[in-house]
Homo-oligomer: A and B are copies of this chain.
Amino acid sequence: MNPATETRLRVRYAETDQMGVVYYANYLIWMEAGRVDLCKACGFNYRDIEREDGIFFAVAEATCRYRSPARFDDEVIVKTWVEDANARIVTFAYEMRLAEDDRVLATGTTRHIFVSSAMQRTRLPQKYHAMLGITQRL
């Protein structure tokens, strides 16, 4: 079983909009920070997969439900885990909470396909399977 990771970040002024809260697209950037940390906890650097294996995790779908607004200078905890994975696709799930009172700010998912640098669909190399919790399907 893969671990869930917790990434802490501080809301930047740049991330707010004139509504006085965090602009909705920024939560997807926080999810990215979360899954980079999750990869590290799983035993690999996403940076190295791109560099050394020429494998990219292209986003196929993203969803986000916004529960409560985050504000400038808030500390946010992004909890990330692998929801589902096989040699072709991985789905990450996220829960973003306010550090101060554990209030849920947003939840979301991102589904990724593995592609080559030429953007062709490919399989995740075997050596990463166990790290993402991919088990042999008989």
Q: Name A59's closest neighbour in chain B (CB-CB).
A: B24
Q: A33 to chain B: which residues have CB within 8 Å? A: 10, 12
Q: Whole-angstrom distance from the CB of A61 to the nearest CB of chain B? A: 5
Task: Give A56 to B13 CA distance when docked, in angstroms.
Answer: 12
Task: Give A58 to B19 CA distance when docked, in angstroms.
Answer: 9
Judge if A1 is at the interface, Cβ distance under 8 Å. Answer: no
Instruction: Spell out A's residues near B (CB within 8 Å).
Output: 10, 12-14, 16-21, 23-26, 28-29, 32-33, 36, 45-47, 50, 56, 58-66, 69, 72-73, 110, 119
Total copies of this chain within the assembly:
4
User: A32 contacts which of B14, B50, B65 (Cβ < 8 Å)?
Assistant: B14
Contact B66–A59 (Cβ < 8 Å): yes
Q: A66 to chain B: which residues have CB within 8 Å? A: 58-62
User: A28 contacts which of B28, B46, B72, B73 (Cβ < 8 Å)?
Assistant: B28
